[in-house]
Homo-oligomer: A and B are copies of this chain.
Amino acid sequence: MKNSLQVPDPSSELLQRALHVRRASTELGQTTNEKRCNALTCMADALANRANQIVESNLVDLKNAVSSGVKDSLLARLKLDKKKLDNSIDGVRKLALLPDPVGVRQLNRELDDGLDLERITVPLGVLGVIFEARPDALIQIASLAIRSGNGAILKGGSEASCTNESIMSALKEGLSKSDIQETSLCLLTTRKESLGLLRLDGLVDLIIPRGSNELVRFIQDNTRIPVLGHADGICHLYVDEAADIEKSLNIALDSKTQYPAACNAIETLLVHEKVAASFLDKAIPAFDHAEVTLLGDETSLLFGIKQKAEDSDWSTEYLDLTLSVKIVSSLEEALEHIRRYGSRHTEAIVTENHETAKRFLKTVDSSGVYHNCSTRFADGFRYGFGAEVGISTQTLPPRGPVGLEGLVTYRYFLRGDGHICADYASSVRYFTHKDLPL
């Protein structure tokens, strides 16, 4: 697939810059927790000192964006006022309070007398980050990288270029006052460079996209570097025949309307036919009041839903106040629908029948499977991770909301005193395989 990528080879200048980040990251990966935390403080201080300048740069970007006629929703994401910036700076300082993800001993085993195996977490190396409009993402991801001992190559949206350069200049000033090399972070500015970033296999260990589903899908399809994240979030809520109607209604409303643009908001409501009448009788006016458009399958129209859903609705992530509704005749039909259309993000069941809940939780293979609560809980902060790197819908770990642990891997360290394998093959020596305290 390497030869058929739709993106160009990285330029030699980009390769050089990436190599500098890689070298800096090798040193960064060996620094103590204390030095990395101190670097975060220096970065936060520098951002605070340059706050006015950053906000002014943002005004320039906003002015340009307005004159090129961008949408209001984009303007809202692009805007970085003093308050939003202060929040971001606060986030940088809070990262220093989280437990160090680096240097955690996961395995400590004597293989034989004098031959000791350890498995210890280490940084991934270099992160490649591609984000759209929001300039606060630059602050967040750069500080997550430093916290976890990783270098980072970052590419922001062109709409935010003045703000991003201003932020990066502050971050580097902060690093220059710490023991961490400035070249640990690198900001790319052109689109050509961001495409080249996708081809830096061997120099970049993980790509983190922050942006639209289209951006994520393009990146997944055009790089061999692992990508942390997800394109679609098509989450389902199933209201079972043994559901408490009041709970169902609250959970359905929260799952859809608490923040409809989030990936963990539901797009489809599955309702068991036995409670369809009693549930929809209350739900239709409630959703109407919340300005949610309901699109229903044939059967649901009999229960008062006005608009008919198309086949394509079952695989559409609306990201706004629209919800598709389907009446099912059994738990198994709900499970089959989820298996077919779900994106393995988060699905929930409302039921008072614990056997039914158990079957649902055991069968649905999404990263989050919930009973009697809102899908909106699928979030690193709500899970208590302190920081969220992203939400992954892939099967392999890390999946679901990913905290700092997504930015580290491990190495096996084996220390001996001249130990060789031939001695074990010829039964001169024997493995003891004795686990030692971690």
Contacts and interface: CB of A to CB of B under 8 A. Distances in A.
Interface of A: 1-2, 4-5, 26, 29-30, 109, 111, 115, 117, 122, 124-125, 205-206, 221-222, 226, 244, 246-247, 250-251, 253-254, 258, 357, 361-363, 365-374, 376-378, 382-384, 394-397, 399-401, 409-422, 424-425, 431, 433
List 5 tightest A-B contacts by C-beta distance, closest first.
Answer: A373-B416, A4-B4, A254-B420, A384-B433, A376-B421
A413 B115 CA distance: 40
A373 B410 contact: no
Contacts of A30: 362-363
Given A363-B30, A372-B415, A409-B397, A117 B1 contact: no
A370 B415 contact: yes
A400 to B, nearest CB: 5
A266 B361 CA distance: 47
22 contacts: A1-B5, A1-B222, A2-B221, A4-B4, A111-B382, A111-B383, A115-B377, A117-B383, A122-B365, A124-B395, A226-B395, A254-B421, A365-B411, A369-B411, A370-B413, A371-B413, A373-B420, A376-B421, A377-B419, A377-B421, A384-B433, A399-B411
A423 to B, nearest CB: 8
Contacts of A383: 109, 111, 117, 412
B420 A371 contact: no
A1 B372 CA distance: 40
A312 to B, nearest CB: 18
Given A226-B394, A244-B418, A370-B414, 18 more contacts: A26-B365, A29-B362, A111-B382, A111-B384, A115-B373, A117-B383, A206-B395, A247-B418, A251-B418, A254-B421, A258-B420, A368-B411, A368-B412, A371-B416, A372-B416, A373-B415, A373-B417, A373-B419
B415 A410 contact: no
A200 B414 CA distance: 38
